[in-house]
Amino acid sequence: MVNLGQVLFLTGQPNAMGGREVGGLCNLLPGYRHVSYPEQRAEVEQFWGLPPGQISPNWGRTAWDIITGLEREM
């Protein structure tokens, strides 16, 4: 039986790795593809069945930007 208090996470932040792998960061697409590279955006657009040019080359908002933005709206 594993004691969850003793589990070692190699990244130091268990959720950070998932964010990088599935596109949960504002500058990345799934598979560590970067929104700045047209060829990488095109791969994801094709896989998702999107028209070419549908994915913006601009970074989205960070998680912190979203949280603080919500606070200002309340």
Write out pLDDT tens, residues 27-67. Answer: 888 888 899 999 999 999 999 999 999 999 999 888 788 88
Give CA–CA dist 1/18, Å, rounded: 25
The C-alpha angle 47, 53, 55, rounded to 5 degrees, equals 65
Show me where the domains of the chain are located. 19-73
pTM for the model stands at 0.64
With contact defined as beta carbons under 8 Å apart, do 37 and 5 qualify?
no
